Structure 1
Amino acid sequence: MVSIDDVARHAGVSTATVSRALSGRGHVSDVTRARVESAAKALGYVVSSSASSLASGRTRNIGVLVPYLDRWFFSTVLSGVASALTRRGYDITLYNLTADRDARRSIFETFLRRQRVDGVIAISIELGEQETDRLLELGLPVIAIGGPNARLTTLTVDDLAVARLATEHLLALGHREIAHIGASPEFDIDFHIPTHRRQGFEHALADAGIPDRSALYEPADFTVAGGFRAAKQLLGRPGERPTAIFAASDEMAIGALLAARDLGYRVPEDLSIVGIDGHELGDFFRLTTVDQFPLGQGERAADAILAELEAKDAGSAPVPPGPLPFELIVRGSTARLAS
């Protein structure tokens, strides 16, 4: 069986240097780290998780709280977290935090207290006061993605600004009859992101001198099917018809695209459609969107949690992460209003 001494001899360094290089704890030059990693790979050496934990006091494992496992956005953020942590030699333990109170309580009061993780990342989950208390009592770094929490380090996107950007894009193209597909109340949870996006939409219209458009609002459930049904309602009802639709998610926007085509609308000649997220199928559907880079959000969260661990080791304060970026991506689903 290959030992750490074998790796040290092969790399021409001390066993202490091998330990620092492979654990990520302590300073090692990039050249030396690469030589040690190459030697370990050549010899087939793998750091024992139990031995590493005993030596460092670390599990090299990060707990990740996520509300959904079967939704594209959450799985994409999770993929970013996992990829970034894996590159740094960390594992993840996944906790599916549902609305069930007993299940949530057991995660915070039992599973996380087993001290099997070095830190916690919460993806788009609004934590209650008691849940935040339980996390802080662990004495571990915590990074929250998706909304403000004054007691935790958070990574947030300005949803009002995101919605404004999408709406102002349609306004700049000459559209005034703009409909909005948002969320019904049962889906307006955890930071009330749909509400903020509707407010950003309404503020942009108000600034442009456009009166209330409540008649051109239709709720849905943040799915393709939900967006399809909502767009059918907006486009099929008597009275004023929109020339553009702003959907609060790309999946609902894709559903609206399919509904418009089903009803004989040409997109973008007859109807412009814009969404939010940066969905992986957006390019396929030529969907104009405000990309909030969900994969990058996960990577940023992983980098932030590791930076807090390193700062803790060094006895220094971590640098607070900045706001999450977003960008308007113009494709073929929006066009200037025909005169």
Structure 2
Amino acid sequence: MEVAALSGFSPATVSRALRGLPGVSAKTREAVERAASSLGYSPSPWATALTTGRTNTIAVIAPWVSRWFFSAVIEGAQEVLAEHGYDLMLYPLGVQGEVDAQTLSKRVDGVLALNVPLAQRSVGNLGGFGVPIVTLGSAIEGISSVLVDNVVVGQRATQHLVDLGHRRIAIFGDETGESRGFPVAVDRHRGWDMTLRAAGLEPDPALVYSSGFSINGGEAAMHRCLAQFAGRDRPSAVFAVSDEVAIGALHAARMHGLRIPEDLSVIGVDGHDFAYLFDLTTISQPVRDQGRIAARLLLEQVSDPEHTPTAVTVGCELIRRGSTGPLRHPERSAS
């Protein structure tokens, strides 16, 4: 009522102007907004949602929100969403989690799904309720996505080690209970396998270790690896499927007295913010940019539900640091 009195328009006109409804001239809307601003008034988002059918909220579904990759993606997405007046709602999924598609569809205008494995079916069900979806890190047919080619990532990491003369190259990152169903490790493993074969090297199953994507997983994998070979015919290099795995592997290797890279070369993936602190060679991917791209794709679909699904593939880059070096002990790495 105060806004109506100050602006000189009826309460009904003020209500329509503040909620962005049609039938109000630009001049009238400006006058009403100026009056509302002077009184410190802002319309209730819940009332606006009831009228427009929009919540101005985007859900981000992720298996974890504490891992660096996911937090960096969310940071990039949040920048874009905030610029366009959208709130972000985190929906931690857990590996075995399922999405209550019907309930979520009533609470948000769109969904950004990060690396969804087992929940793909329930995430896809959101489309049946008219909710726009964009996936990042995994692809669902008929849904927009943002991806890095993880086979290429595996190839570039392994080729770097091969070019340095390494022949016995372990891979840390095969599936564990927590990562089962995610395509990332599988595709990076495929790149490792393809590159070794192209170099005339037979991939050794004994050099494949489960680690998941965590620092603890990388550390445990390195302890198992070194215990298995006990200094005899051990690998001269390790391809870790994430920088966090690589950091754990480096820590364990140094605990065993190995010099990096004289005794062991280690390469990771991601371009982690702290990779430089560990002098870690990595295959860097534009993580925050992926979040920004995915958010823009999603907002396009929110604005235009008939928008054609788009798949965006981003590149990767080798950043060479001190954790990788030429093979120093050929006799230890003979097959």
Equivalent residue, structure 1, for 2:30: none
* Letter aligned with residue 263 of structure 1: H
Q: 1:311·1:318 contact (CA, 8 Å) conserved in 2?
A: no
Deviation at 1:338, TM superposition (A): 3.4
Output the CA distance in 1 between the equivalents of 2:283 and 2:181.
21
Residue 115 of structure 2 is matched in structure 1 by 124
Asked whether the 8 Å contact 1:287–1:332 carries over to 2, the reply is yes
Q: Is the 8 A contact 2:142 2:309 kept in 1?
A: no
> Shift of residue 279 of structure 1?
1.5
Please give the alpha-carbon distance, in whole angstroms, between the structure 2 residues aligned to 1:51 and 1:194.
45
Q: What CA distance in whole angstroms lies between the structure 2 residues aligned with 1:259 and 1:5?
A: 71
Distance in 1 (alpha carbons) for counterparts of 2:206 and 2:34: 64
Q: 1:62 aligns with which of 58, 65, 70?
A: 58
* 2:286 paired residue number: 293
Aligned: 1:85 with 2:81: yes
What TM-score does the superposition give when structure 2 sets the normalisation length? 0.81
Paired positions, count: 313
Q: Give SS of 1:171's match.
A: helix
Q: How big is each residue's C-alpha offset from its partner over 1:259-294, in whole Å with a ceiling of 9 and x where there is no partner? A: 222222221222211011221210111111112222
Specify which of 262, 266, 269 is matched with residue 269 of structure 1.
262
Output the CA distance in 2 between the equivalents of 1:39 and 1:292: 48
Which position in structure 1 is the counterpart of 2:71?
75
Structure with higher Rg: it is 2
SS of the residue aligned with 2:304?
helix
Give 1:218 deviation, angstroms: 2.2
* Distance apart, 1:47 and its partner CA: 5.3
Cα distance in 2 between the residues matched to 1:2 and 1:257: 65
Find the aligned partners of 2:132 and 2:181 in 1 and give their Cα distance.
21
Contact 1:4 / 1:18 at 8 angstroms: preserved in 2? Answer: no
In structure 2, the gaps of 5 or more residues are 8-14, 27-32, 330-335
Q: For residue 152 of structure 1, what is the aligned residue in structure 2?
A: 143
How big is each residue's C-alpha offset from its partner over 1:166-218, in whole Å with a ceiling of 9 and x where there is no partner? 11111112222211112344244233321221111011000011122222222
- Which residue matches 1:306? 299
Distance 2:179 2:192 in 1: 16
How do 1:176-195 and structure 2 match up within 5 A? 176-195=167-186
Give matches, 1:1-339, under 5 Å: 46=42, 48-54=44-50, 56-100=52-96, 104=98, 107-109=100-102, 111-113=103-105, 115-126=106-117, 130-132=121-123, 134-236=125-227, 237-238=229-230, 239-312=232-305, 317-318=307-308, 320-338=310-328
List alignment gaps of at least 5 residues for structure 1.
8-14, 29-36
- In structure 2, C-alpha distance between the alignment counterparts of 1:168 and 1:4, rounded to whole Å: 70
Cα RMSD for the two superposed structures: 3.4
Summarize deviations over 1:60-117 as a string: whole Å, max 9, x none. Answer: 111221111332222222222223211221002222223456xx25x223x214x221
Distance 1:171 1:4 in 2: 74
Cα pair 2:120 2:140 within 8 Å, conserved: no
Classify 1:263/1:42 alpha carbon distance in 2 versus 1 (closer, same or farther; 3 Å).
Answer: farther
After superposition, the Cα gap between the structure-2 partners of 1:145 and 1:3, relative to the gap in structure 1 and judged at 3 Å, is farther
Who is 1:31 aligned against? Answer: none
* 8 A Cα contact 2:148 2:285, kept in partner: yes
Q: Give the distance between the partners of 2:169 and 2:241, measured in 1 at CA.
A: 13
CA distance in 1, matches of 2:316, 2:81: 23
Counterpart code for 2:302? L
**255-264 or 164-173, larger mean C-alpha shift:** 255-264
Cα gap change, 1:234 to 1:130, in 2 (>3 Å): closer
Offset of residue 126 of structure 1? 2.4
1:34 counterpart residue number: none
CA distance in 2, matches of 1:336, 1:139: 55
Distance 1:331-1:51 versus aligned 2 partners, 3 A rule: same
TM-score by length of structure 1 reads 0.80
Tell me how far 1:336 sits from its aligned partner. Answer: 2.4
The percentage of aligned residue pairs carrying the same residue is 37
Cα pair 2:3 2:35 within 8 Å, conserved: no
